[in-house]
Amino acid sequence: MQMLTAAEMAATDKRTAEEYGTPFGELMENAGTAVARFVRAQYPRASRVLLLCGSGNNGGDGLVAARALLNDGLHITVALTGPESRFKGSAADALGLLDRSAIQLAILPETETEAAVLAMVRGAEVVVDAVTGTGFKPPLRGPAVAVRDALRTCSVPVVAVDLPSGWDADSREQSNPDAFRADSVVTFTAPKPAHLFGHLTDGTFAPVVVADIGSPKQAIQSTESLFWTGQSKHLFERARNVDSNKGMYGHVLIVGGASGKSGAPSMSALAALRTGAGLITAAVARSIQQMVALITPELMTVPLQEDPHGALALANADPERRDLLLKKISVLAIGPGLGTEGETPDFVRRMVAETTLPLVLDADGLNAFKGRSSEIDGRNRTFVLTPHPGEMATLLGVTTKQVQADRLNLARTFAKEHHVTLVLKGWRTLVAHPDGRVAVNTTGNPSMAKGGSGDILTGIVAAAIAQFPNDVAQAVEAAVYLHGLAADFAATRRDEHTILATDTVAHLSDAFRYRTRDSNGFTWICGVRKPRWQSRLPSMVE
């Protein structure tokens, strides 16, 4: 699913009407009906809905939703933020179709607007925000400001149509204190920059969903080359062949660990096993081999020589030993728990330079290239880097603050120049590919801000590549999405403060079974709902 800017969304609607014969009025009908369907599905017990409608197309969507909700038997109040004379085109048509004998219709006053809104909200169980939409440019003006302030004092759930009013659809900011609050968002056709980069809702796991309103795929065109990682999860939704064997799903070798650092390679190996690779071997410093082997009996281990500092010795990269180590390996992951002491950086650089295996480089595997990023070259091979902002700063020779200020451009440029897939971790993790495409991840939560999370991701990415060696781009995107989704499931069951990185691994099964598209036709790009398979389980509580 690609991202569209506001201008590209308008162009898509225009192409849909002019080239594919679906008039704009029909698109508005479909959009408003989708909003009504979402309200009924998300708040099935609500019977009184207040719809706040501006005079633009977003307001038209809200008016269609009002009519659809009325037809479903709900009590509907519509509040217009301006006089009826401002409504034009399809929005005016939608206003004209309201049954005024059955719907309570009001125009918000120019003065004491906040008090008027509060009076209406007190009688509502759900509020639909259809004041401004994709075409809006800040700042909010007039009655909309008072409406925003009134909603901030209320606890009634707010469903935003397209965007919370006050958000610029093209914004890539994480937050917008001037916008309406929202408990959920329904947008149409494709996500906009604000949906992928912004935290639009009050709740960590509140839904942001995309509804298909009738634009054919051929009409949806974007020059941004920005996508959503969740589109790639379908790789793991295919049933495995009934005659499967472990050799069909790859053999991952995780090289990591040093004296006193057994946890990182252990977690990577465990995550790789849980992600479905056929075989996993952990090659670690001899002194920690037994500890790593105890993580699970399914894991194979290989001892590596240590230098006098307890770090991996350069001798491990000698051709004979290296070839024996890499025999029958599908994917090589280097970095978890390595450290940067002694001969380790030299060992890493030599391994990277002298093997053509698909490679995942993380943690201190990345730090081995400090001041030497020119040696990173993924031409003619699969090469994936998974830095956090600090590691990215080390690779680029800049500050972490500089990385955070220009994440998208830096990730895309590095991936193209070095011919690698780069996973830049953080808020809205980015997956930048050598061809310039970038996928934005919308799963994950603050519970992941703990040691071990990156090691888990390394294992998931390596295992995904092992299973889908001919579809590396989607494999990496799916791995990043699943990692964050598993953490989201963990956080819905435990407090964020208490979650460990290994708790994420325990919820990978929930993430794998999850479907991004629900039974009502909405694609959930943010938020977590209860999977359908769970609802069929017998309750353990009477």
CATH code of domain 232-236+251-513: 3.40.1190.20
What residue type is assigned to position 309 of the chain? H
Phi and psi dihedrals of 159, rounded to 5? -105, 120
Do the strands 359-361 and 383-385 form a parallel or antiparallel pair, or are they unpaired? Answer: parallel
Is the CB of residue 498 less than 8 Å from the CB of residue 487? no
Question: Rounded to an integer, what is the distance from CA 15 to the centroid of its chain?
Answer: 28
Question: Rounded to an integer, what is the distance from CA 477 to the centroid of its chain?
Answer: 9
Look-up: residue for tokens 């999977």?
A: 531
Quote the pTM value. Answer: 0.95
Phi and psi dihedrals of 339, rounded to 5? 80, 175
3-state secondary structure of 45: coil
Q: Tell me whether the CATH fold assigned to 6-220 matches the one assigned to 232-236+251-513.
A: no
Is the CB of residue 14 less than 8 Å from the CB of residue 8? no
Q: Where does residue 422 rank: exposed (0-12), middle (13-18), buried (19+ CB within 10 A)?
A: buried
Question: What is the per-residue pLDDT for 532?
Answer: 53
> For the chain, what percentages of helix, strand and coil (3-state, to nearest 5) are there?
45, 15, 40
Please give the Cα distance from 383 to 360 (Å, whole number). Answer: 6
Structure tokens belonging to residue 165 = 């009013």
Write down the CATH superfamily of domain 6-220: YjeF N-terminal domain (3.40.50.10260)
| Domain positions in the chain | 6-220, 232-236+251-513
Measure Cα distances from 333 to 1, 58, 239, 329, 483 in Å: 29, 48, 26, 11, 17
Neighbours of 217 (CB within 10 A): 7
- Written as tens digits, the pLDDT of the chain (542 aa) is 999 999 999 999 999 999 999 999 999 999 999 999 999 999 999 999 999 999 999 999 999 999 999 999 999 999 999 999 999 999 999 999 999 999 999 999 988 999 999 999 999 999 999 999 999 999 999 999 999 999 999 999 999 999 999 999 999 999 999 999 999 999 999 999 999 999 999 988 899 999 999 999 999 999 999 999 999 999 999 889 999 999 999 999 999 999 889 999 999 999 999 999 999 999 999 999 999 999 999 999 999 999 988 899 999 999 999 999 999 999 999 999 999 999 999 999 999 999 999 999 999 999 999 999 999 999 999 999 999 999 999 999 999 999 999 999 999 999 999 999 999 999 999 999 999 999 999 999 999 999 999 999 999 999 999 999 999 999 999 999 999 999 999 999 999 999 999 999 999 999 999 999 999 999 999 998 875 544 444 433 32
Cis, bond preceding 83 (omega within 30 deg of 0): no
